[in-house]
Chains A and B, each alone.
Chain A
């Protein structure tokens, strides 16, 4: 999957989870930038991404994520043909 496809998908997920049509998935966006990005919404985003991109994440992988850029890179690595 290409990088723009992943970021588009993540933008759609973030907009749906946070009900904020203005939010855009950018590489340096992180949970600290969005007030409602708590542990529940985090899992909401992760599960939505797992279903959308057809991948699954390990707990250690999730813990290492610092921002949306890391998340996109992880998804890209997992969807390589």
Chain B
């Protein structure tokens, strides 16, 4: 069931909400949580009942492992638990790809197994790995099975995140007031949901047909001419951003309607002035996961070992090759390579991850150069902001070509087009180009959802944000605006079959 399908909007959501708040009046809030869990499992099984057993097995196994770890935090048990979870993803996601690679390397002809990838497995597995680490670190008291099941299966975030921590969600559902109807939260949540719905239906699905022809050409073995290639690639970058951030907004909005605050997943990543910043603003809960459980332990271990051995550590003011390669390039490339592979099995995803790894490493190297460290006058720095944002956006756009392409061959054809080496493609209709430009204006000139809703914390040193007239308020004017957006979106939903979210493939 997609968030933007009529069966979700007009049957599933109202019924689930009504049941939740009705049962929430009982003294034990576990009834409401059991209802929410059952509804979430139904929501999940709607796609394919065959996926349900895998989710239930994973749920039961990880809950049991968590209990054992809470009682006795043994390292080997944690490591086996993580291995078991990764093994499951590995089998479903990569077995087919590995057989293909082995066939290519050994000229064998083992039949490539066609394994159906259980929906959301990458997301719910990561969430449970984080849970096991929390249990091992003694951060969790005795977990209640119903609260645990609800925390993993909560339908707004089950399919494609945000990837949340037990300690972020469960304390909220342990409080009684979460189960009381809170008008402010309902209105705020519904508004965020509508914005996400518009991002998906109004923007992402409008941009999709402008991106696709570029990949259709590549599928025919043709490279597009320069302008055509760039417009298609930019259209895809925008489509992916609106699709996934729209989904995330919908998830956060739905969570809030149930009184549960989920973490934000995007913070205007396309406004980033460099790649390091881009990753702190794009798919933030995945970045957080990979940073905590992969990048930090590797870097920390290396840093401690080098400090204890008296070897120099990486310092941008005294740049030296060995510390740079060992302490910075190595952990970054490993983390981003795996981030790429997490998105899917295939060389194009490995290249996507490594490209970002190399760009991050280059970003760090640049900071170590004299030019990168130059203290520029504020005017020059201000003038460079659009240049930095544009360069970062173009680099991200090229990398996303690999992300979108079904194979490396097609990706290389699209990239040839981007470098002016192609001559195919149709005439560029100015109306279509205007849509892409409008997308860029929205991304670069407008505040993002959390800024507009006044939910973004301001940095300590910066001036408080101006109380702009644009800021959302529960007023008739803003209500009218959101209502109009919802109307337009609903008209489109009824006019055409709903398109799936791009991130459901992971």
Contacts and interface: CB of A to CB of B under 8 A. Distances in A.
A14 to B, nearest CB: 14
Contacts of B327: 40
A56 to B, nearest CB: 10
B460 A30 contact: yes
Contacts of A67: 460
Most central of B276, B295, B303 by chain A CB within 10 Å = B303
Interface string B263-307: 000000000000010001000000010011101110110011001
Contact of B297 (A26, A38, A59, A64): A59
B167 A51 contact: no
A27 to B, nearest CB: 9
B318 to A, nearest CB: 10
Interface of B: 133-134, 137, 139, 165, 167, 276, 280, 288, 291-293, 295-297, 299-300, 303-304, 307, 313-314, 316-317, 327-328, 364, 367, 459-462
B313 A60 contact: no
Contact of A60 (B139, B295, B299): B139
A29 B296 contact: no
Interface string A54-66: 0000111111100
B460 A47 contact: no
A74 interface: no
Contact of A44 (B293, B303, B364, B462): B303
A44 B461 CA distance: 22
25 contacts: A26-B460, A28-B460, A30-B460, A33-B459, A33-B462, A36-B316, A38-B276, A38-B364, A39-B276, A39-B295, A39-B296, A39-B299, A40-B314, A40-B328, A43-B299, A43-B303, A44-B313, A47-B303, A47-B307, A59-B137, A59-B292, A59-B297, A60-B133, A62-B292, A63-B288
A40 B279 CA distance: 13
Given A36-B316, A43-B300, A60-B167, 16 more contacts: A29-B461, A30-B459, A33-B462, A36-B367, A39-B276, A40-B314, A43-B296, A43-B303, A47-B300, A51-B307, A58-B139, A59-B137, A59-B293, A60-B133, A61-B137, A63-B288
B292 A63 contact: yes
Contacts of B139: 58, 60
Contact of B296 (A19, A51, A62, A64): A62
Contacts of B313: 44
Contacts of B292: 59-60, 62-63
B364 A33 contact: no
A36 B288 CA distance: 18
A59 B300 CA distance: 11
A54 B104 CA distance: 52
A73 interface: no
A30 B303 CA distance: 22
Contacts of A60: 133-134, 137, 139, 165, 167, 292
B166 to A, nearest CB: 10
A25 B295 CA distance: 25
A46 interface: yes
